[in-house]
């Protein structure tokens, strides 16, 4: 029996704040900046951090294992990005006494998230309520999947989208079966559209080639594809992920 639940990224509720946050952080997040398109459409921007930045990562205190588990999973990206991570651990009560963003990325833990995770994308983390977590992970720290779950969620926090949603995805989804399967895992149709099915290609945005081995790719069962197509869950950062991150956060 497959107990795996899947990551859900947090949809933006305020597109203007999302746009402003991304452009203030790194002007090239505006994909239209060098184009001559007449109409700028919000939502087409990327959400990458400024190259060379030290990201402050606030981890809510949970138990003796939680802080180390986050540091370990997140740090898997460090060899491939020109970013630094500054990890701090704080008690919830202290976090709630501040009305400032105490971390660019804010991680809390919920047992109901065991086997899955959720995160906002890139600079969306510094919009909205500063006390709210931007990433939620489970509390099954001894699970062999835990480190992978952390690394995958930090991929989102560094601005990556789901690879199976690449505009040139090769996944031959059987739509009816896909909606039914994910409904059984608690996904609404909107959440399937938002987290599973292909996204439109955005003009002006740079894409790497589709990479079925990306750590940002879901496991895909043959049962929900047409023909004969499946992909196991990728627990390691792929060569494609490395190439993309090196291009997005290059050494100066």
| Residues in touch with Zn ion (CB under 5 A) | 7
Residue 30 or 49: the one with the smaller Cβ distance to Zn ion is: 49
* Tokens of residue 23, six digits: 């452009």
The CB-of-88 to Zn ion minimum distance in angstroms stands at: 24
Angle at 114 between CA 171 and CA 131, to 5 degrees: 100
Which phi and psi (to 5°) does residue 236 adopt? -120, 150
Residue 7 or 220: the one with the smaller Cβ distance to Zn ion is: 7
Helix (H, G, I), strand (E, B) or coil at 96: helix
Residue of minimal CB distance from Zn ion?
Answer: 7
The CB-of-160 to Zn ion minimum distance in angstroms stands at: 8
Residue 95 or 196: the one with the smaller Cβ distance to Zn ion is: 196
Residue 66 or 151: the one with the smaller Cβ distance to Zn ion is: 151
Distance (Å, rounded) from C-alpha 194 to C-alpha 239? 25
The CB-of-93 to Zn ion minimum distance in angstroms stands at: 30
The CB-of-72 to Zn ion minimum distance in angstroms stands at: 18
Residue 30 or 148: the one with the smaller Cβ distance to Zn ion is: 148
The CB-of-167 to Zn ion minimum distance in angstroms stands at: 17
* Tokens of residue 5, six digits: 């639940």
Helix and strand counts by DSSP (H, E) for the chain? 7, 6
Under a CB-based contact definition with an 8 Å cutoff, are residues 48 and 248 in contact? yes
């Amino acid at each position: 029996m497959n107990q795996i639940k899947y990551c859900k990224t947090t949809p933006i509720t305020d597109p203007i704040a999302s746009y402003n946050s991304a452009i203030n952080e790194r002007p090239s997040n505006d994909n239209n900046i060098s184009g001559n398109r007449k109409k700028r459409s919000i939502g087409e921007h990327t959400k990458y951090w400024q190259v060379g930045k030290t990201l402050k990562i606030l981890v809510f205190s949970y138990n003796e294992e939680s802080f180390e588990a986050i540091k370990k999973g997140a740090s898997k990206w460090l060899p491939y990005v020109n970013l630094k991570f500054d990890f701090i651990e704080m008690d919830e009560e202290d976090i709630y006494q501040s009305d400032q963003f105490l971390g660019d990325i804010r991680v809390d833990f919920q047992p109901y998230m065991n086997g899955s995770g959720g995160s906002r994308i890139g600079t969306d983390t510094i919009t909205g309520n500063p006390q709210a977590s931007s990433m939620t992970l489970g509390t099954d720290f001894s699970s062999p999947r835990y480190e992978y779950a952390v690394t995958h969620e930090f991929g989102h926090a560094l601005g990556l989208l789901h690879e199976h949603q690449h505009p040139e995805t090769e996944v031959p989804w059987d739509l009816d079966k896909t909606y039914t399967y994910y409904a059984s895992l608690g996904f609404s149709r909107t959440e399937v559209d938002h987290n599973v099915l292909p996204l439109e290609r955005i003009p002006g945005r740079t894409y790497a080639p589709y990479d079925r081995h990306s750590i940002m790719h879901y496991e895909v069962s043959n049962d929900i594809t047409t023909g004969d197509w499946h992909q196991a869950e990728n627990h390691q950062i792929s060569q494609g992920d490395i190439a993309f991150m090196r291009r997005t956060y290059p050494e100066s």
